[in-house]
Structure 1
Amino acid sequence: MQLVLLQEGADLDALSSAYGLSLLYNAKIVLPNAYSETVRLTLNIFSDRFKNKIGHFDKNAEKIYLVDSHYVDNLNSKIYKKIEIYDHHPIDEYKKDIKYHIKNYGSATTIIVEKLKRKKVYIDNIDATILALGIYEDTGKFCYNLTTSQDLKMASYLLEKGANLKIISDILTNRLNSDKIQVFEKLLKNSYNLYLDNKTILIASAYISEYIPDISSAINLIEEFNNVDAVFILLQTKNKITIIGRSGNKEIDLSQILSIFGGGGHWSAASATIKTFSLNQLQDYLEFLLKKYLSDTKKLKDIAIPVEITTSLKHSDGIKILINQEGKYEGIVINNKFDDNLIVLNANISLWEAEKEISKYEQDIFPVLEKQKPVGIVSKKDILKALYKPILDKEKIFLAKKEKPKEKNVKDRLKHFLPEDIYKELKIIGKIAKENGYRVYLVGGIVRDFILSKKSLDIDIIVEGDIEKIIKDYVKNRKISVYFFKEFMTATLKLENGIKFDFATARKESYEYPGAYPKVEKATIFEDLYRRDFTINTLAIEITEDRFGTLIDFFDGLKDIKEKRIKVLHQTSFIEDPIRILRALRFAGRFGYKLEKNTEKLLKLAVEEKLLQKAPTGRINLELNLTFDEENVLYILNLMDEYKVLRQIFPNCFINLEREVIIAKISEAINIYKVLFDLKIEKNSNYLMALMYHLPFDVSYFVLKKYHFDKSIKHFKYIFDFIDKFKNLPEKNIEFFKFLKTIPVEILPFSAIYFNFFEKSIEILKKEKEFKNIISGEDLKNIGIKPSPIYKKILSEIFKLYLDGKISSKKDAVDYVKKYYNN
């Protein structure tokens, strides 16, 4: 690894030089804590180019470059042999072991562009623009006396490569002030792409305190807004939402689309102002309009699956639609069960309209009707696959499967990994399976944790065979609790020592026809594992007696664990179950893994298409709670932010430095309150507040209600209702103590961190805990005071004195009572 270090206060010449070295040597750029406004602006405008070029300092790097500076005194002299310096400033003293590239030019970038040209390194127009910025800034647009002919020659070379003088001029004249920069940062954080009829449309939104009149003129400065067919920017102020549209494709006529909102303009630039929608409603409606104008004309009836139509309720397997004598829909019959309460869909709506409809319901299968007469049925998966499979096919991402596994004997290691009693029980189960001609396997998290050497007692067992027969033989003459779930072919056992085993029959989901409910069938271990989400969860250890301790790896799960990556098994994995988006990022955060290249593409596509909004909200609630309970919660939330997942769940929410610090401190506070005071704190309200404290209460309420965080609604309301009290904390210790006790313990960590009273809360709670050893009712009794309501008054009075430091020991307390309450 090679690094380019920028010095504190770095300017554009330093940044451009570092960028040039990243092109030459694939070096990572290490940013300082502080840099110029034009550097910040450049990093924002070209964030896509710098995204994978920013790194962190590592003293073990094989090479370290310094640019636009030769100051090395802050570096360890032991690493001088690794250092190369590119600078245009005069040097008084050359350090031993350091390699220097010093030329008396107006810009250090000029030195590096010379090298790029000489080595014939390919640079495009964006590269040329970033490099030219350094030369133009450090030469004062070639007006400074230090400017040389070589600076002009290299600038000319960059212009030939397509350097954009308008962007250079806008950045150097700082046309984007700090207010605009902050708005564009919010927009980029809250942006996503729509892919319609081979066109890419970017939609970005932000809440802002007040509208900036000339912000539309600066849109073209942002690279992400120029690399799509059209862009729609939605800016919400207190009383209205402004839509700004820019199009580079004549097929996307902005004047036509925004005229629906009463706006105006021409095909390439238009705007509108709306007062009747919320930001989320407007975003949804805009999407609907775009899909209506630009997507293909396929209707729901084009993908509906024809099924048998009947007028009788006679016994039959499979699925049928019941009609009356007029041929109109009456209900649906599934395996002889009649249901007339299903939501039905209009056969003539578009697939995009159908997608919006199905997202409202937990129902999986929908009868499709045309003028009340049945056309067929369709499932959620049918609709999603019809919409998104063409996009996936265009990406040409195919994930292979194989039916011959890699195997490895891990018997001895398994014996040391498992507690002795569990190991013995598994041996018994394996013997019973062998005697019956069945195969049994350990699967799931315990196998993954075994590979990672992480302790786990989450025992999941898969049976190839009759699960009831194995369990009955196993529990015979033993006091073991057994719970069978025959419909799902699973069972749970609780052993005498309290340990729990979960059994399941190796199974697969089959469909008698497209759109039908899945039918659970017995299967092989391969088919069972192939249903799983990620390769790291597909490993199994056979515990059948004759193959006990054989690790089975069909899908290179071991390799993916070794290479620390999360990889899906199927091309349509995220489409079939969007919750896997959250699971992928949670596992990546927990283990410190990266998303495998194709998996990352599939996940990004699913996020861009907002498939999470089609997922059951109850399952999203479960995944978020699991995330909040993770040790690496901040890292996971950062991943959710990086992949634009966070803002799909929490509107206009992203992780910035301020929020990152708050979340980290909340995590620490939760642990401290638990260790010091044994406070059992549910984490979700604290992290939810940390994510949404910037939003109005009505917006937060909608989100919390949608995802079933009903208890958190009360906590949010408490904070908003008593915001003034939090901002004006009591100064006296006793008053602060009383205030502290009014705060629900579930949101104490967030409150203490956000309103800056964490340290004082620790001090006061410690004193409350210590007070038990200062004086008690028993002490008062020993002094000679008869038990009565006065005990409460005395203890409260002494506690107040103890908080104020006027009493510090049991002796002080007893003396005080004797002095003032002896009679």
Structure 2
Amino acid sequence: MTLIRKLPQAERALLKRLGEVADDRGISLSLVGGVVRDLLLKRKTWDLDLTADEDGIAFAKAIVHRYGGSVVLFERFQTARIVFPDGKKVDITTARRESYRSPAALPNVSAGSLDDDLYRRDFTINAMAISLNAVTFGDLYDPFGGRKDLRSGIIRVLHAGSFIDDPTRIFRAIRFTRRFGFRLERRSATLLNRAAATNMVQRLSGPRLCREILLLLGDASPEKSIETLDRLHLMRFLSRGLSYGQEARRIVRNLNKALQWWRKRFPNRPIDQPMAYLAAVLTGMHTSVVKSVIRRLQLPLAQSDILEWSGSARDRIMRSVSSKSDLRPSQVYHLLEKAPDECIAGLLAGALAHRPGSVVRRLVIARLSRFLQRDRDVTTSITGDDLKRLGLPAGPRFRIILRQIRDAKIDGRIANRPAELELARRLVNRTISRGAVADRAPVFQTSRSTRTGQHG
């Protein structure tokens, strides 16, 4: 009962009720997986995964019938996910054994015992269970020495074929060693190195590989894990052309500081940390390499956009914002207006990689800070209706003139609606007098006077 008491009262009460239903149906029910490990480590992770020694799906349906909620079935893996009316989620699995028809394939599943179910797991520290039945409620079941390995700070696989059967465990082992400050048990380390040297990871589907990479990059301070991926040559499975260069290393080493800076100032604008780190790893890579990573991981459009900014576009922007020449705030705005936040965080990390007090560091941080905290949100009161009233026919010139007005406001040359209207009048008159209004869209070309900030 001691471990169960570490759970919040609501979770304890829920598990007790589920154990009572299991007793009524003659089912042996256990809490399993990472939550057991985290209870022993005194870490707060309340993902509730249960294993039933009989039909877990039928048991889940009975729970929903009694207590309400909804259930989602994953019949291939004999698993059901319950979402209770209060939003709590519980996964219930039939105790099962697994076999693999070939390396890296999804497993074939058949009914088994609790021991079978624990033996199929990745590491001993994740192969423990806590009984939820009334007579043994709270008792720890640890057939493979997981508790001892936790105390010793060891990651150990349960059998010699573990990394070959499921190469995602290679990435999980790296992630857990860094997350918990553990080390791989000697035999397990040998098995991992051998598996990493094969091409088994290449057999993983894009989504399976993507999930493990993003989980690894989502941990707190994943820099050491990234170094391990590089040392084991595992980045080749993202793209054969991917190399972890010096500039990328500098950005990765400083990205955590940049993300802390960001979270402190923009708590309501969260960064996708895994994608920020992946973009940092790809710093300096050719567009073809970036696109091959996107294809390999089968990334959706929003995440693909983040990575596409990590290559040549990022290098071009960094050269501009770190330039010692005069750069108007509106020019910085145009460089960054479409850049994903994750890439702006990467630019900040690049600045932090320079020594404190250096000109480049001060320039880049000042320019990025102004854009993020002020200029990005600048708007004008002028609309297309105003331009129509000033005599400008509808057309592509609307966008150009509205942009010039916003630029002037960003640069501090106008500050209120009367000034905006006066500038709009000048730009409209100039456009009309030069005959720039035509049936076809004109080529965008900013006049010399506009570039220098002088109007009229």
Partner of residue 320, structure 2: 728
Q: Distance in 2 between matches of 1:635 and 1:511?
A: 31
Partner of residue 691, structure 1: 281
Q: Aligned pair 1:660/2:249, yes or no?
A: yes
CA contact (8 A) 2:123 2:156 kept: yes
Q: Please provide the CA RMSD for this pair.
A: 3.7
Deviation sequence 1:162-203 (CA, Å, 0-9, x none): xxxxxxxxxxxxxxxxxxxxxxxxxxxxxxxxxxxxxxxxxx
Q: Distance in 1 between matches of 2:377 and 2:21?
A: 58
Q: Say which SS state the counterpart of residue 547 (structure 1) adopts.
A: coil
Partner of residue 506, structure 1: 95
Q: Aligned pair 1:581/2:177, yes or no?
A: no
Pairing partner for 2:335 from 723, 739, 753: 739
Partner of residue 127, structure 2: 538
Higher relative contact order (CA 8 A, sep 6+): 2
Q: Distance in 2 between matches of 1:606 and 1:798?
A: 57
Pairing partner for 1:762 from 369, 379, 399: 369
Partner of residue 272, structure 2: 682
What residue identity is the alignment partner of 1:747? Answer: C
Pairing partner for 1:553 from 122, 142, 147: 142
Relative to structure 1, the CA distance from residue 721 to residue 478 in structure 2 (aligned partners, 3 Å threshold; closer, same or farther) is: closer
Q: Say which SS state the counterpart of residue 437 (structure 1) adopts.
A: coil
What residue identity is the alignment partner of 2:262? Answer: Y
Q: Report which of the two has the higher share of strand.
A: 1
What residue identity is the alignment partner of 2:277? Answer: Y
Q: Following superposition of structure 1 onto structure 2, how do residues 490-639 of structure 1 map, counting pairs within 5 Å? A: 490-509=79-98, 519-639=108-228
Q: Say which SS state the counterpart of residue 545 (structure 1) adopts.
A: coil
CA contact (8 A) 2:31 2:129 kept: yes
CA contact (8 A) 1:530 1:538 kept: yes
Q: Distance in 2 between matches of 1:800 and 1:517?
A: 59
Q: Distance in 2 between matches of 1:577 and 1:671?
A: 35
CA contact (8 A) 1:650 1:692 kept: no
Partner of residue 708, structure 1: 298
What residue identity is the alignment partner of 1:701? Answer: K
Please report how far the alpha carbon of residue 723 of structure 1 lies from its aligned counterpart in structure 2 after TM superposition. 5.0
Q: Aligned pair 1:484/2:73, yes or no?
A: yes
CA contact (8 A) 1:588 1:595 kept: yes
Q: Following superposition of structure 1 onto structure 2, how do residues 146-545 of structure 1 map, counting pairs within 5 Å? A: 411-415=1-5, 417-468=6-57, 470-509=59-98, 519-545=108-134
CA contact (8 A) 2:255 2:346 kept: yes
Deviation sequence 1:353-404 (CA, Å, 0-9, x none): xxxxxxxxxxxxxxxxxxxxxxxxxxxxxxxxxxxxxxxxxxxxxxxxxxxx
- TM-score, structure 2 normalization: 0.74
Relative to structure 1, the CA distance from residue 727 to residue 815 in structure 2 (aligned partners, 3 Å threshold; closer, same or farther) is: closer
Deviation sequence 1:195-220 (CA, Å, 0-9, x none): xxxxxxxxxxxxxxxxxxxxxxxxxx
Q: Distance in 1 between matches of 2:100 and 2:190?
A: 28
Q: Distance in 2 between matches of 1:441 and 1:428?
A: 13
Q: Distance in 2 between matches of 1:476 and 1:714?
A: 44
Q: Distance in 2 between matches of 1:596 and 1:441?
A: 27
Partner of residue 644, structure 1: 233
Q: Distance in 2 between matches of 1:431 and 1:631?
A: 38
Structure of greater Rg: 1
Relative to structure 1, the CA distance from residue 687 to residue 431 in structure 2 (aligned partners, 3 Å threshold; closer, same or farther) is: same
Q: Distance in 2 between matches of 1:518 and 1:728?
A: 51
Relative to structure 1, the CA distance from residue 731 to residue 612 in structure 2 (aligned partners, 3 Å threshold; closer, same or farther) is: same
Q: Distance in 2 between matches of 1:723 and 1:662?
A: 12
Please report how far the alpha carbon of residue 658 of structure 1 lies from its aligned counterpart in structure 2 after TM superposition. 4.4
What residue identity is the alignment partner of 1:728? Answer: S
Q: Distance in 2 between matches of 1:702 and 1:476?
A: 48
Please report how far the alpha carbon of residue 617 of structure 1 lies from its aligned counterpart in structure 2 after TM superposition. 3.5
Please report how far the alpha carbon of residue 725 of structure 1 lies from its aligned counterpart in structure 2 after TM superposition. 5.4
The aligned length equals: 391
Q: Distance in 2 between matches of 1:508 and 1:611?
A: 22
CA contact (8 A) 1:431 1:544 kept: yes
Relative to structure 1, the CA distance from residue 746 to residue 722 in structure 2 (aligned partners, 3 Å threshold; closer, same or farther) is: closer
Q: Say which SS state the counterpart of residue 438 (structure 1) adopts.
A: coil
Please report how far the alpha carbon of residue 576 of structure 1 lies from its aligned counterpart in structure 2 after TM superposition. 1.4
Q: Following superposition of structure 1 onto structure 2, how do residues 25-104 of structure 1 map, counting pairs within 5 Å? A: none
Unaligned runs of 5+ in 2: 352-359, 390-398, 424-456
What residue identity is the alignment partner of 1:457? Answer: W
Q: Aligned pair 1:749/2:345, yes or no?
A: yes
Relative to structure 1, the CA distance from residue 517 to residue 723 in structure 2 (aligned partners, 3 Å threshold; closer, same or farther) is: closer
Q: Say which SS state the counterpart of residue 503 (structure 1) adopts.
A: strand
Q: Distance in 2 between matches of 1:517 and 1:696?
A: 33
Unaligned runs of 5+ in 1: 1-410, 781-786, 808-812
Please report how far the alpha carbon of residue 572 of structure 1 lies from its aligned counterpart in structure 2 after TM superposition. 1.2
Q: Say which SS state the counterpart of residue 582 (structure 1) adopts.
A: helix
Relative to structure 1, the CA distance from residue 735 to residue 559 in structure 2 (aligned partners, 3 Å threshold; closer, same or farther) is: same
CA contact (8 A) 1:589 1:639 kept: no
Q: Distance in 1 between matches of 2:417 and 2:315?
A: 42
What residue identity is the alignment partner of 1:720? Answer: S
Q: Distance in 2 between matches of 1:690 and 1:818?
A: 40
Q: Say which SS state the counterpart of residue 280 (structure 2) adopts.
A: helix
Deviation sequence 1:30-57 (CA, Å, 0-9, x none): xxxxxxxxxxxxxxxxxxxxxxxxxxxx
CA contact (8 A) 1:429 1:470 kept: no
Q: Distance in 2 between matches of 1:523 and 1:618?
A: 28
CA contact (8 A) 2:53 2:114 kept: yes
Deviation sequence 1:331-367 (CA, Å, 0-9, x none): xxxxxxxxxxxxxxxxxxxxxxxxxxxxxxxxxxxxx
Range with greater deviation from structure 2 (705-714 or 429-438): 705-714
Please report how far the alpha carbon of residue 499 of structure 1 lies from its aligned counterpart in structure 2 after TM superposition. 0.5
Q: Distance in 1 between matches of 2:66 and 2:130?
A: 28
Partner of residue 36, structure 1: none
CA contact (8 A) 1:433 1:545 kept: no
Q: Distance in 1 between matches of 2:44 and 2:142?
A: 21
CA contact (8 A) 1:565 1:594 kept: yes
Deviation sequence 1:430-489 (CA, Å, 0-9, x none): 112223222111111111111111112211010012335533443345332123344432
CA contact (8 A) 1:480 1:493 kept: yes
Relative to structure 1, the CA distance from residue 552 to residue 643 in structure 2 (aligned partners, 3 Å threshold; closer, same or farther) is: same
Q: Distance in 2 between matches of 1:559 and 1:609?
A: 31
Q: Following superposition of structure 1 onto structure 2, how do residues 4-43 of structure 1 map, counting pairs within 5 Å? A: none
Q: Distance in 1 between matches of 2:242 and 2:12?
A: 47
Range with greater deviation from structure 2 (721-730 or 680-689): 721-730
CA contact (8 A) 2:241 2:289 kept: no
Q: Distance in 2 between matches of 1:751 and 1:738?
A: 15
Deviation sequence 1:530-563 (CA, Å, 0-9, x none): 0001111111111111111111111111111111
CA contact (8 A) 2:22 2:28 kept: yes
What residue identity is the alignment partner of 1:492? Answer: R
What residue identity is the alignment partner of 2:181? Answer: G
Q: Say which SS state the counterpart of residue 728 (structure 1) adopts.
A: helix
Relative to structure 1, the CA distance from residue 518 to residue 728 in structure 2 (aligned partners, 3 Å threshold; closer, same or farther) is: closer
Q: Distance in 2 between matches of 1:502 and 1:551?
A: 19
